[in-house]
Structure 1
Amino acid sequence: MSKHTEFIAFFIRQKLQLPALYIRTAALLLLALLLLRHRTAAAAGVVSGIHTCLGTLIPSLFPFILLACLCTNSRAAQVLFRPLSPVMRHVFRLPACAAPAVLLGLTAGYPTGAKITANLYATGKLTREQAARLLCFCTAPGYAFAAAYTGSLLLRSERIGLNLFFACALAPLLLGLTLSRFAEKPEKSLKSPESAPGGIVSAVQDGIKATVSLCGFVIVFSMLLAVLHDAGIFQYLCGFLSRFGLTVPLSGALLTMGLEITAGVTQCIYWHLPVYFLAFGLGFSGVCIHLQIFSFFHKAGLPLSKTRYVLARFLNGLLSAAFYLLLSYFLPASTSVAVETSPLNTAPMAGSAASSLALIALSMFFLLTCILRSGKTPSKICGGNSTGKMLQ
């Protein structure tokens, strides 16, 4: 009887998988035809994506991605984030090692917190439940993208940028506090985990891989948006959404932000849409960011279903919009005229004060890591053969 039951279950699974396989095949064929038919637009989209990566993403995010990789394998991170241990255990009900994921994830930029979470989950420092819960509230645009890029550069208003930054940081914190009410407190660890051997070298390698992966997704989605525009599919989708009461500019901005947040922010500002739509898009972060985060878990596996993760991001977007409306009520700011030219032609973080402070902090963190790993004073590190031992 059990053999017949297993056969029936296997038959049902195969039948359910066939429609999905046919849909994927049709989508692949459609994509191939679109790329062949609109290859000029695809090439222009690739160029635009590369320009975005070189001018915006790499200068602003790579230092923080490298810092995130260092935080997961270094004993220096345990010293720096030790004061947050009671907060993590009693408030968020997570182990102390999750503090860098929360702090850097909300301040440094989108993939930083997820990258730290993936590393902690892969090394067994977080359980599946803890990693799934942490992944729901450790992702935010950060100060560089929300305040400096979107607010100061594009909207030309530091106050709006700060409101966006705090709104997108408060929303995941509220979500994390809510989710922690249903979890148990982790056991207090008395023994500090050892740092991974070759942490500095592996952190640089992991940071480069993560940055290349991030840029690859941005380039792909930039190419996809260009092809959809050239083929008229994007305009058709905007017209379809306009039947439900949405304006065409709003439909286009929401579709673009749903796919790739950088281009979506540009469209939203170009059409002078309300800023709380920007807050929603920054909180949701877009499919491009979601796929980047999924790629971090390709070895250990995603600790929660993709549907639940997307729903958590959608709720995070709604909370971000609500927090922005609340902050803008108490801290009003005058809206400036958005830049008319493409913001992709500038590199806002290439020589800014925020970038300089980030590089200085990263250098100090690197030096502290070397001191704690070698067990020597800075004067001894600078002389003799300690440099070779430090890098081993």
Structure 2
Amino acid sequence: MPAARKWTTALTAASSLAVAALMMLFPAQSLDAALRGLAIWWDILFPALLPFFVIAELMLGFGIVHFFGTLLDPMMRPLFRVPGIGGFAMAMGFASGYPVGARLTAQLWEQRLIRRDEGERLVSFTTTSDPIFLIGAVSIGFFHDASLAVILAVAHYGTSVVIGLLMRYHGNLQFVAAAPKLTGANPIRRAMQSMHRARLLDSRTFGEMLRDALQSSLKLIMVIGGLVVFFCVVLEVMTLSHLMRGLYAAVTFVLQGAHVPPELAQAVVGGLFEVTLGAKSAAGAGVHLSLVSKVAIAAFILSWGGLSVHAQVVSLLNRTDLRYIPFGIARLAHGFMAAAAVFALWEPLAPARSAVSHAVPTLSTDGGLLPALPALFSLSGLLFVGTLLLLCALYAVYACLRPFVRRFRA
């Protein structure tokens, strides 16, 4: 282990020196890339994430998370092998995007509400894009087509649920979490009692909670902004120095094998590092390329998240014992599954896309996302409620199929 750490330290130091040298070699281009990253953070990420960070902190302090945890426990344990409190993290992750799911998972681990295996399962399928970015930035801002939000949302969030169902087999397979037996008490009443106990344990006043939520949220949003700017600069200087040629060749080979236009290799490579740059590059690829291929690549990039998002998640999980490798594998699988879902659902969802296109015929993005933010925040709230309803529907299907599965096994 000491020798491995020495090599890791040496490699990290050498990489840092190389990036610094490239930045001095291309100072103007590095500054332009940093300004692009800063614009992405200020225009999109800051207004989209900060309110949800603060709300999540307040919900933890008031015990609302514990309320949903008690209420959703009979659904989450048999379906995803995580406590019911993971249902709230899942809904918040879908509604507010990365890295909110990772932050909630880390906080639940710190409060000893989840174990390591449960946390690794939870963070693997709750780290998703938020509807503000998926609809406002990608569909409207980059592709200039609101109807694409339909297939991107179904492919992205639908396959995320599938990842969650697959991740239930991660960890100790000898232990299968089962839903606790229900007592005669009303579930709503038990959930209210759980929320009340959690509120009593957190003795802070509302003013103290709001202050702490703002301080921690601003600190996290600054870290996110720094990572976005850093990866924008790294990608730019590596591209200018032709160090990306090998990666471009490998990605082109994979795309050709999947019968995807190799011209999209630049978008994939950009998306491997930073999701916004990759999605924008996919949308701006040649007009002669098929739209379904460009949307599939965008779905892959959104689901993979980019190394910038991975670094954000690692920084949040660093104070826990949760491992990165299960998360990284799940993100890669989610990316491939989302891209495949776009190809599979392109024709079946054509009527839905056409209906959205007729309902929203023209959209202007000259003023940025600010005019559309109220409607997009409403969609985030609907996605939060819809996720909770989806969990109820999945559990109903599970309850109906469970007797047949037992008979088949017998």
Which TM bucket (shorter chain)? 0.7 to 0.9
Aligned 8 A contact 2:78 2:177 in 1:
no
Aligned: 1:43 with 2:31: yes
1:253 to 267, 288, 292: 267
Cα gap change, 1:15 to 1:214, in 2 (>3 Å) = closer
2:220 to 203, 206, 210: 210
Aligned: 1:293 with 2:313: yes
Cα gap change, 1:23 to 1:78, in 2 (>3 Å) = closer
Structure 2 stretches lacking a partner, 5+ long: 183-189, 358-363, 383-410
Q: How many residues align?
A: 341
Aligned 8 A contact 2:140 2:365 in 1:
no
Cα gap change, 1:235 to 1:347, in 2 (>3 Å) = farther
**Hey, what does 1:175 align to over in structure 2?**
163
Aligned 8 A contact 2:68 2:88 in 1:
no
Whole-angstrom distance in 1 between the partners of 2:296 and 2:231? 24
Aligned: 1:86 with 2:74: yes
Q: Deviations over 1:19-69 (max 9, x none)?
A: 434323322221221121112211111111111111111122222222222
**Hey, what does 1:331 align to over in structure 2?**
349
Query: Partner of 2:244: helix, strand, or coil?
Result: helix
Q: Deviations over 1:274-327 (max 9, x none)?
A: 1111111111111110000111123224x12x2232111101111212222333
Whole-angstrom distance in 1 between the partners of 2:380 and 2:373? 11
Aligned 8 A contact 2:252 2:265 in 1:
yes
**2:131 aligned partner, one-letter code:** Y
Cα gap change, 1:127 to 1:14, in 2 (>3 Å) = closer
Aligned 8 A contact 1:168 1:283 in 2:
yes
Query: Partner of 1:330: helix, strand, or coil?
Result: coil
Query: Partner of 1:95: helix, strand, or coil?
Result: coil
**Hey, what does 1:339 align to over in structure 2?**
none
Aligned ranges 1:163-242 → 2 under 5 Å = 163-180=151-168, 182=173, 183-185=176-178, 192=194, 193-195=197-199, 196=202, 197=204, 198-234=208-244, 237-239=247-249, 241-242=251-252
Aligned: 1:353 with 2:405: no
Whole-angstrom distance in 2 between the partners of 1:22 and 1:356? 45
Aligned ranges 1:260-271 → 2 under 5 Å = 260-271=274-285
Aligned 8 A contact 1:63 1:358 in 2:
no
Aligned 8 A contact 2:143 2:283 in 1:
yes
Query: Partner of 2:266: helix, strand, or coil?
Result: helix
**1:286 aligned partner, one-letter code:** G
1:136 to 108, 115, 124: 124
**Hey, what does 1:96 align to over in structure 2?**
84
1:150 to 138, 148, 152: 138
Calculate the aligned-residue CA RMSD, in Å.
Answer: 3.0
Query: After the TM superposition, which of the residue ranges 290-299 and 80-89 deviates more from structure 2?
Result: 80-89
**2:214 aligned partner, one-letter code:** V
Residue 101 (structure 1) shift: 0.9
Residue 351 (structure 1) shift: 4.4
2:301 to 262, 278, 281: 281
2:103 to 115, 127, 135: 115
Cα gap change, 1:283 to 1:242, in 2 (>3 Å) = closer
Normalization by structure 2: what TM-score? Answer: 0.74
Q: Deviations over 1:157-189 (max 9, x none)?
A: 222112111211111211211222554236579
Residue 143 (structure 1) shift: 1.2
Normalization by structure 1: what TM-score? Answer: 0.77
**Hey, what does 1:52 align to over in structure 2?**
40
2:52 to 64, 76, 80: 64
Aligned 8 A contact 2:132 2:380 in 1:
no
Query: After the TM superposition, which of the residue ranges 288-297 and 219-228 deviates more from structure 2?
Result: 219-228
Aligned 8 A contact 1:45 1:226 in 2:
yes
